[in-house]
Amino acid sequence: MLKHDYPYKEQTLEETTRCIVENHNGIYAYPHESQEEREETDRLMKVFIKKNNQ
């Protein structure tokens, strides 16, 4: 699972964009309701990022 060191807070659009670009390789996934769905999305994003960085 992707984990981050920043606390949940309201961010400006610029801060949010920078976070998506720097931490997620520009990939944004809308958060799901359940913890299981969030974990699966994180897993899929991690696999995708790993494949694209090879």
Q: Give pLDDT tens digits for 5-52.
A: 555 567 787 887 888 888 777 777 776 678 888 888 888 888 888 887
Tell whether the model's pLDDT for residue 2 goes beyond 70: no
Residue 34, classified by CB atoms within 10 Å of its CB into exposed (0-12), middle (13-18) or buried (19+), is exposed
Half-sphere exposure of residue 7: CA atoms within 13 angstroms, side-chain side:
1
N- to C-terminal Cα separation, the chain: 19
CA 11/CA 1 separation, integer angstroms: 22
CA 17/CA 34 separation, integer angstroms: 24
The per-residue pLDDT for 4 is 55
